[in-house]
Structure 1
């Protein structure tokens, strides 16, 4: 074990299981007789981002943290983007079946993983003890919609999916570039995951960059394929790969408001998040408004995507329909408050689950 300036980096044995869909690599720690907590990671990451979280929570919970298809050390099978987030939520379903899980899990999803968790709850109502979202993907996907109700900017869903991903970043991932002098390297992009004042210990930075570089690259994985279209910015999502599976063409989780029974929801949000926000530095609409993408047609045609507002809108409807949710904001954290504020995160999560 290595020192990281805060505490030792946990050594958690990695496991693998063959499901009826794919081979899934996962971490497991804790007493199986305790409440089950399942951690689902986000895009351009893996379960390695949960190492400290697992260690912090394993005394109170039985913790499972799988690598999603296309990420980490799980089997690299192609991603059918036309399924949207179901490509992953059905994998999680197969994971539970293979492990013979017979208790309701508390489902925690970070970023894209938050969308996967919501999709699972929609498809299998009554099977989640609670839902915990960390800076989740909007219920209406990533980019390309104009209001809190998720109205599409146009019929092409232009500017969403693989065509809006910076090719320099993809190339750096493909070539496993680690040099921080490269503005598109994994090590450089990693800094945007956290608030500016958060300093990543070198040992953890190495682990997180390793995690990012394990992601599958190409049309079947990240970012996927795309097609030209006549609406700005003149690309539309294809049918394969990770970025397309998050496009509003294939993602609409608003039916979460209708599920029954309704598990309690805890929504963690970092106030300094620049990856999932109403002013997101990866959203083509916001980048166009800032002048980084030429030809932006204006707010009436292609506004910034109101990601946080959309999540709040759906969760408020969930509450109006008889559910409960709590929004917990980390004022000094970015996209990864479980990494940036581990003690505060642990205390709030533990008290939330124990109050159910």
Structure 2
């Protein structure tokens, strides 16, 4: 079995009124700043370890496992609340550890969790760093301005997961033999082609901690009269990001706006203006048959949507910086760790990036 904890990282369990949370920490003697990392979908806090270890010694670095991931308690995910089961869980850890305001970092789905937390408890966020975040309008099913393409957001949510990938997660598949194995998905989608890491086995173990089923990953699905024939359900992980229940675009109206750093990879295969995890993009490419066309089911411009919301955030008195890393996929903190660390440290200090 792979030893998943790196030297210098301590693991603990924080019991809150909501759940038992697994938390990793790189302690700091002075704790001039506290950073809290939130992982993405089909992953865990293990992915943050090298970055945590690389931060200056005066930074206290913590990473929390969401429910049903890593070492945290597996509980049902109520997707009718959007990502609030997750964001409320993170809030319970912040409150339980009496952290006060933190420098919050969210990756992918964790970026959506971080935006929701900012929306609901802005006093807990000193700065916000988003790493390849889900669009503020959710994942799939919306036009450029965030409007639903149809009322039930067909083609989004739990019905969009590849069943063989889910089965291999549940079976603990560590192989690289099939394109739907977790290791192959990591190599093809989490990072840019050709990227290699000495920690790959740890990343695979992290992915395999994902609790599967209708209450967790991927969730359930309902029927739809619209192409491709299914709509989001009310349970489980993927449904939390359906645009019928997830929308954090109103962070632009917060009276107090912490600075936002948005980091993304130019070769991101998951969050992009033409993401091949968006079923409308797959239909346009002919991979899913009977696509009804651009007028009815256009691919979601995820990056453009995020930029438009953050531009409004700036117009309303906030500030953000967008950094695009070349030769980088969905995981800038893994693929370009030194550059990412430097950008984050500058964010903590309020300096120029």
Which of 140, 145, 148 is residue 142 of structure 2 equivalent to?
Answer: 145
Asked if the contact 1:264/1:325 (under 8 Å) is kept, the reply is yes
Q: Is the 1:162–1:223 Cα contact (8 Å) retained in structure 2? A: yes
Unaligned segments of structure 2, at least 5 residues: none
Matched, 1:170 2:169: no
Q: C-alpha displacement at 1:29, in angstroms?
A: 1.5
* 1:10–1:52 CA contact under 8 A, matched in 2: no
Query: What is the match of residue 228 of structure 1?
Result: 223
Aligned to 1:14: 11
Question: Hey, what's the Cα distance between the residues in 2 that align with 1:295 and 1:183?
Answer: 24
- Measured at CA, do residues 33 and 205 of structure 1 come closer, stay the same or move farther in structure 2, by a change above 3 Å? closer
Question: Which residue of 2 is the match for residue 80 of structure 1?
Answer: 78
Say which SS state the counterpart of residue 73 (structure 2) adopts. coil
Deviates more, 1:25-34 or 1:243-252: 25-34
What is the CA–CA distance in structure 2 between the aligned matches of 1:142 and 1:200, rounded to whole Å?
Answer: 28
Matched-pair contact (CA < 8 Å) for 2:122–2:256: yes
Distance 1:345 1:10, change over 3 A: farther
For the residues of structure 1 that align with 2:76 and 2:318, how far apart are their CA atoms? 36
RMSD: 1.5
Query: How far off its partner does 1:355 sit?
Result: 2.1
Task: Supply the distance in 1 between the matched residues of 2:43 and 2:56 (Cα, whole angstroms).
Answer: 21
Partners of 2:31 and 2:58 within 8 A in 1: no
Q: Give 1:166 shift.
A: 1.2
Q: Is the 8 A contact 1:105 1:129 kept in 2?
A: yes
- CA distance in 1 between counterparts of 2:66 and 2:124 reads 20
TM-score by length of 2: 0.95
- Could you tell me which residue of structure 2 aligns to residue 279 of structure 1? 274
Question: For the residues of structure 1 that align with 2:56 and 2:80, how far apart are their CA atoms?
Answer: 36
- Report deviation, 1:317: 0.4
- In structure 1, runs of 5+ residues without a counterpart are none
Q: Hey, what does 2:90 align to over in structure 1?
A: 92
Q: CA deviation at 1:216?
A: 0.5
2:89 counterpart SS class: helix
Q: Which residue of 1 aligns with 2:55?
A: 57
Deviates more, 1:302-311 or 1:49-58: 49-58
Shifted more, 256-265 versus 49-58: the winner is 49-58
Deviation at 1:127, TM superposition (A): 2.6
User: How far is the alpha carbon of 1:352 from its aligned partner?
Assistant: 2.0
Indicate whether 1:241 and 2:239 are aligned: no
In 1, distance between residues paired with 2:255 and 2:123? 7
Match of 1:69 in 2: 67
Paired residues, number: 347
What whole-Å deviation, never above 9, does each CA across 1:26-45 have from its counterpart, x for those lacking one?
Answer: 11123263211100000010
Q: What's 2:302 paired with?
A: 307
